Structure 1
Amino acid sequence: MAVLREWGLTLGKWAGRPVARVYEDSGDPEVRRVREAAAAADWTTVRAVLEARPESADRTELLWAVGDTAGVERWMPAVVEAEPEAALPRLVAGVRHISWGWEARTGARAAHVSSEQFEVFHARLRTAERWLYEAAEREPQWISPWYGLQITGRGLQVEKTVARRRFEATVRRDPHHLGAHQQRLQQLCEKWGGSHEEMHAFARASAFGAPPGTHLGQLVAIAHIEHWLALDSGPDGAYMARPEVAASLRQAADHSFRHPDFVLRETWLPVVNTFAMAFSLAGDRVAARECFRLTDGCVSRFPWYYLDSSDPAAAYRKLRSSVGR
């Protein structure tokens, strides 16, 4: 499709139908490059890739590619020590410790996480906070340190006022930063001490407070998915079947990816994939087929891992088939 060709994504076809494939890096070759450099402990290349993507262009995905790479925690402290005035090594070390912390905690519900796991989790997050604050002090206009502090704050269960201020610090530097808004939405989820009402209100205010074509429209779809996930089997389907749910999704889609001003930048693929999942669960087959047609088999890990963490593409294919695409 034209959308995918413009973004540089190509897929093989089987019987005329797109083959679903997970794109870990949203089609951005620099993500793979920086991940490979991190795995090789090649700080020169890691730094070059990150410095080439300014904060104003949102280098969140690049940072996570490094942060999610095993072993980075072993060699980054030496880089930090060798560059005592530099912010970037501290930022990278902080992001790695966030990911490393969640590796210790795992994605299990709190009731199934041991006290020993929580101890390691919190220790790593506290180290991450130290690095991130030091990065923020050295580069006061950078967005990424404050984005990271939103995540550590949720894991360390900081007070609600502190959590809100960290979000505000992020959006003062970039009012429409998608990652910052996604993290704030998680903070307002019921599972993190918020409520469905707070979550939905924030999602709508953020999406419709942004200019038409915004990627923040995804927040509305995420909020409905999070609400669905919080319910037991039976009530979850009844919730998504409410006419007002599909109506709010259509309204958000019109203000977001359906709008002529929607820009094909790095986050477009998970945005449309999120709407594909939400519309499918809501039973809006026409709107869901539109999203599957746009993604054309290009699968982002989020949000499909909610349905199948080991094979997000299988979850994509299952719902695509359910709506007749």
Structure 2
Amino acid sequence: MVDTMALLPPFIRAARTPSAAARHVADEVLLDAPDARLAPVLVAAARGDHGPAAALLAETRGRAEWEDRDRYVTRLAAFARSRSEWLETWRAAAPHDPDTLLVAAQLAVDRAWPSPARAELLRGVSPLITAAARGDGRDPVPWRLALDHARGSRAGHRYVEELWEAAVRRAPHHYGCHVAALRYLASSWHGSHHECFDFADLAAQDAPPDSLVQALPARTAFSYLTDGCGPRVPRARLDAAADRAVALSARFPAADPWPAEVRNLLAYVLARLGRLEDARGQLLLIGPHATSFPWDRVSDDPLGLFLRLREDVRAAPLAPSGHPREGRGGRARAGDH
């Protein structure tokens, strides 16, 4: 297990008893709180009713809301890991429905991922992913899942390139597919941070200003800062990655759940780079929307780590202008899935 606090700047590492203020703000924040569309769907699923989930995913597919669809599929599969009755009923009622096939495929990958026999288990999931991909030829989300599957099953580069080409034909700037491709690149050559930055920077340059792909370089910076392996990346490149994500964040309202994960990632990266004023700004924009990623990559208590960083960044004196600090920590958890 990674020493969480060793991964953070010195101003965050000081041991302390949580203050009354810290205990109070914990009541204001919910980890991975569902948005207004997903919340009633999860309530219904908890009661065994799959109808709202089917309606939600059919709506995202009909409107080509691929980023929302990807998020909802991931969240529904995560819910089904502990409460699967509603999904089993849905699959029995509509075994060829592209939406239930996609959730079932995501769930199968998620269940196989922690196993030491991951590669072998994932090979048995391939037919389910193929069926999901055939359900709607426009949908890039099954191809994001196929890219994750290829990484977990240690597929070769040529096969992954074919998957990538199929994904971008459907949605050239789909964030989930880009993250999946970036993860494959990072896992296939440990320490390949410069190559990952090249991929992320080019993707961001080609994407619209309001695309989540603008945050891909910041995600690469996070991997670099928590890896502690590979050649050094110039500070200017890390700052440029953060600046691009800051510009993206500024396009959305405060306390908006849509960019919440990007803002959580950015707050971590900015704090690690010593850009405390910028980190404070992102923490204000995050509001109550703490997300598991990136905190769960470096801690068994992601919400606790988020709250500690928030309190410490707010309390820390600013570094002198023009003299930001940079540090690299130990490795984040293996198996970034």
TM-score range, shorter chain: 0.7 to 0.9
Deviation at 1:163, TM superposition (A): 1.3
- The one-letter amino acid of 1:53's match is T
Inter-CA distance 264–167: structure 2 relative to 1 (3 Å threshold): farther
Q: For 1:193, which of 189, 196, 203 is the aligned residue?
A: 189
* Distance (Å, rounded) in 1 between the aligned partners of 2:182 and 2:261: 16
Matched with 1:180 is 177
Counterpart of 1:244 in structure 2 is 236
1:291 aligns with 2:298: no
Sort the Cα spacing of 1:272 and 1:31 in 2 relative to 1 into closer, same or farther, 3 A: same
Matches within 5 A, 1:310-325: 311-324=301-314
Which has the higher mean CA deviation after the structures are superposed, 87-96 or 75-84?
75-84
Cα separation, partners in 2 of 1:137 and 1:261, compared to 1, 3 Å: same
Query: How far is 1:302 from its partner?
Result: 0.7
C-alpha distance in 1 between matches for 2:121 and 2:92: 18
Separation of aligned partners in 1, 2:281 and 2:269: 12
Structure 1 portions without partners, runs of 5+: 1-12, 106-116
In 2: Cα distance, 1:180 partner to 1:36 partner:
29
Number of equivalenced pairs: 290
Q: Is the 8 A contact 1:34 1:62 kept in 2?
A: no
Identity %: 22
Q: 1 or 2 for the larger relative contact order (CA 8 Å, sep ≥6)? A: 2
- Do the aligned partners of residues 230 and 64 (structure 1) sit closer, same or farther apart at CA in structure 2, a change above 3 Å counting? same
Structure 1 Cα separation of the partners of residues 42 and 257 of structure 2: 16
1:266 is displaced (CA, Å) by 5.1
User: Contact 2:193–2:224 (CA<8 Å) still a contact in 1?
Assistant: yes
Partner of 2:129: 132
Q: Report the more deviating stretch, 315-324 or 31-40.
A: 31-40
8 Å CA contact 2:265, 2:294 repeated in 1:
yes
TM-score, normalised to structure 2, is 0.74
Tell me which of 76, 97, 102 is aligned to 1:86: 97
Q: TM-score, normalised by structure 1?
A: 0.77
Alignment partners' CA distance in 1, 2:121 and 2:130: 14
2:278 aligned with 1:278: no
Matched residue SS, 1:133: helix
Does structure 2 retain, via aligned residues, the 8 Å contact 1:98–1:152? yes
Match of 1:67 in 2: 77
Question: Aligned partners of 1:253, 1:88: CA distance in 2, in Å?
Answer: 31
CA contact (8 A) 1:150 1:166 kept: yes
Give the equivalent residue in structure 2 for 1:10: none
SS at match of 2:124: helix
Query: Using the alignment, how far apart are the partners of 2:125 and 2:38 within structure 1?
Result: 22
Kindly tell me: are residues 150 and 38 of structure 1, through their superposed partners in 2, closer, same or farther at Cα, counting changes over 3 Å? farther
Q: CA deviation at 1:256?
A: 1.7
* Counterpart amino acid of residue 65 in structure 1: R
